[in-house]
Structure 1
């Protein structure tokens, strides 16, 4: 899944946009989108990652699974909420 430019129109914090870019980069390389992979690459605080993921989920940009090792899902831009 390639990065969608719409991410820049949603007035999200920089950390949240960075998290989205990290996720799309992993997806483009066919790497796992599980929390462990994302945490290993995240350069900020763990609490910032939690906030960013929650905001992405709240906007309908990702779906977060119930279990930590299950993959996150990037959702199509048509499903995103402004």
Structure 2
């Protein structure tokens, strides 16, 4: 597997968030929901916080341990 494919496999929630952003209506602030069967890495956690602040969308990520609700730069897990 190429290095780029390995990076995308590890950070697939970033692609899912990007797809969710282009799929929702432009003016609607509907939440973006991502379900993943592995733990979210710290980089993707920070990415979701940034995106929620910049776009105004609530982002909900379900990883193998818990739900993360990102809204306005904050996460429900308190960055656990």
Which category of TM-score, normalised to the shorter sequence, fits these structures? 0.3 to 0.5
Greater strand content: 2
Question: What is the TM-score when the length of structure 1 is the normalising length?
Answer: 0.35
Larger CA Rg, structure 1 vs 2 = 2
Greater helix content: 1
Q: Which has the higher contact order (CA 8 A, sep 6+)?
A: 1
